[in-house]
Amino acid sequence: MTEQLVKRVVIAGGGTAGWLAAAALSRQLGQLLDIVLVESEEIGTVGVGEATIPTMRSFHAILGLDEREFMRATKASFKLGISFENWARDGDRYIHSFGEIGKSTWMGAFHHFWLQARADGIDGDIGDYCLELRAADAEKFATGENAPVNYAYHLDAGLYAKFLRARSEADGLHRIEGKIAQVERDPQSGDIAALVLQSGERVEGDLFIDCTGFRGLLIEETLAAGYDDWSHWLPTNSALAMQTESTRPAVPYTRAIAHDAGWRWQIPLQHRVGNGLVYCSDFLSDDAARDRLLQAVDGKPVTEPRLIRYRTGRRRKVWDRNCIALSLASGFVEPLESTSIHLVMIALTRLMQVFPFAGINPATASRFNDQARQDLEGVRDFIILHYHLNQRPEPFWQRCREMTIPDTLAERIALFREAAHAYQAGEDLFRVDSWVQVMLGQRLQPQGHHHLARILGRERLGQALADIKRNHDRTLAAMPQHQRFLDAHMAG
């Protein structure tokens, strides 16, 4: 048997990323590893990742989490998608839902059938054929066999970290309180040898996980892994985040509302609403952004607006030597599609699958880095899509519309514009239905489509669409309002 050379794992930093790493590793590999997390109560976390995507449910299954226990602890609500308001033009609204649109075939996706129906004058809105989208729009929700919806959560990120901490410590993880004063490297190998705390304590390890946020204390300040700046494609660089009291029942979707220099979010939880304003400081001052956010929120403020600076881009290596960077330490593309927590979870899943017990080798690290690059570039392209396809008149939006975009995205847009083709390749996060909902929502109209629906004929095509809508009508009629279901679910 090969000797186990990597035994002690040191997680630098807490927050959502650090405690997710702690929870996953202690739960799945705790019998094989000695896991330590170092954090300081004095150092705050960004903590605005309060909206998620459905992949979280699969990761929670890996952690053995009970949904009600998790939701009670984090004051979570359900999420069926995102409502995009004013993005292509002022007054526009569309929902990017987590659902499947209609019924696709091996030869062509459902939207080709819908485009043929539109050409024949028998279509409804494409959202009519997606249960999750219609439920979100009606502010309804239910789970179970009679309502098989694909959903995620809105949650309190601070409470989530505390919940994960309790689980991790119950599974044997050791937490050390303290600020990191120095990162010590092995003089021979150049690997990280230990974290030296302000107290003088040395925390040695074989593998280090960097969860120190934008700073990247280990991956960048120590190992200089390098950073690719994407601000020429994603020019927002600032966000203000605050919490307010709830003024109405919670809706099962995130709101993303465009303004002249970016957008703002609204995330309903059980006990409050998370609010934020994302903007480019070249086009909006901090003071003006603060005033705008305070004027836009509905409820009484629970916290003051907190300013967050960022630079969109990615770390060139997220696994460098014996260090792996997670979350903000690995890169950031802004919170528009709620992907931050997912990217942490997929990285941890891969790490557990290829954990280097017998020692770190270049091939494993290289493959890990390539997958992380593809993940973040795929998210990057999808988010650029929202900005680039716009018809707004303001200078910020004109800049986004006229900028040169990545070739990978330009190809996707051309395929859809010319022939309505959309695809999900390899390990792409976003499905065909996601690309279709956003491209149509941003007013990209295909010039052609696949003609397979002509085989059905106009009458049969109309009947097929009507059947889908009728089935959804029945399901929706039996669904309670989201707030009512949420209250019952939490009381159960």
Per-residue pLDDT at 426:
84
Determine, yes or no, domain membership for 111: yes
Q: What is the mean pLDDT of residues 150-163?
A: 96
Residues 325 and 246 in one domain: no
Per-residue pLDDT at 148:
85
> What is the C-alpha end-to-end distance of the chain, expressed in Å?
49
Above 80 in pLDDT, residue 223? yes
Measure the CA–CA gap between 214 and 216, rounded to whole angstroms.
6
pLDDT band at 47 (very low <50, low <70, confident <90, very high): low
Query: Per DSSP, what are the bridge partners of residue 228?
Result: 314
Q: What is the mean pLDDT of residues 355-383?
A: 97
Determine, yes or no, domain membership for 88: no
Determine, yes or no, domain membership for 77: no
Per-residue pLDDT at 422:
96
Above 60 in pLDDT, residue 432? yes
Question: Which tokens belong to 42?
Answer: 């004095």
Q: What is the DSSP string of 109-125?
A: -HHHHHHHHHHTT----
Per-residue pLDDT at 48:
59
Above 80 in pLDDT, residue 116? yes
Question: Which tokens belong to 45?
Answer: 């976390």
Phi, psi of 370 (to 5 degrees): -65, -40
Per-residue pLDDT at 413:
98
Query: Please, what is the average pLDDT of the chain?
Result: 95
The CATH number assigned to the domain holding 355 equals 3.50.50.60
Residues 420 and 464 in one domain: yes
Residues 192 and 207 in one domain: yes
Residues 280 and 187 in one domain: no
Q: Do the Cβ atoms of 243 and 276 come closer than 8 Å?
A: no
pLDDT band at 217 (very low <50, low <70, confident <90, very high): very high
Q: Do the Cβ atoms of 320 and 219 come closer than 8 Å?
A: yes
Residues 21 and 44 in one domain: yes
Determine, yes or no, domain membership for 55: no
Residues 130 and 184 in one domain: no
Active site positions, annotated: 79
Q: Do the Cβ atoms of 463 and 124 come closer than 8 Å?
A: no
Final residue before a domain boundary, out of 361, 376, 391:
376
Final residue before a domain boundary, out of 376, 397, 428:
376
pLDDT band at 124 (very low <50, low <70, confident <90, very high): confident
Q: Do the Cβ atoms of 76 and 65 come closer than 8 Å?
A: no
How many folded domains does the chain comprise? 3
Determine, yes or no, domain membership for 19: yes
**Which candidate, 89, 128, 93, places its Cα nearest to that of 110?**
128
How does DSSP classify residue 140? B
Segment (H or E) for 181:
strand 180-185
Per-residue pLDDT at 45:
63
Q: Do the Cβ atoms of 137 and 125 come closer than 8 Å?
A: no
Residue 427: domain span: 99-150+379-478
pLDDT band at 49 (very low <50, low <70, confident <90, very high): low
Measure the CA–CA gap between 192 and 190, rounded to whole angstroms.
7
Final residue before a domain boundary, out of 376, 401, 426:
376
Per-residue pLDDT at 1:
54
Residues 329 and 200 in one domain: yes
Residues 296 and 385 in one domain: no
Measure the CA–CA gap between 231 and 430, rounded to whole angstroms.
22
Above 70 in pLDDT, residue 108? yes
The CA–CA distances, whole Å, from 57 to 52, 65, 67, 76, 179 equal 10, 9, 9, 13, 33
Give helix 55-63 / helix 15-29 axis angle, nearest 10°.
50
Q: What is the mean pLDDT of residues 298-306?
A: 94
pLDDT band at 152 (very low <50, low <70, confident <90, very high): very high
Above 80 in pLDDT, residue 280? yes
Question: Which tokens belong to 282?
Answer: 């070249």
Measure the CA–CA gap between 3 and 226, rounded to whole angstroms.
32
Residues 114 and 213 in one domain: no
Residues 411 and 455 in one domain: yes
Residues 297 and 162 in one domain: no
Measure the CA–CA gap between 481 and 465, rounded to whole angstroms.
26
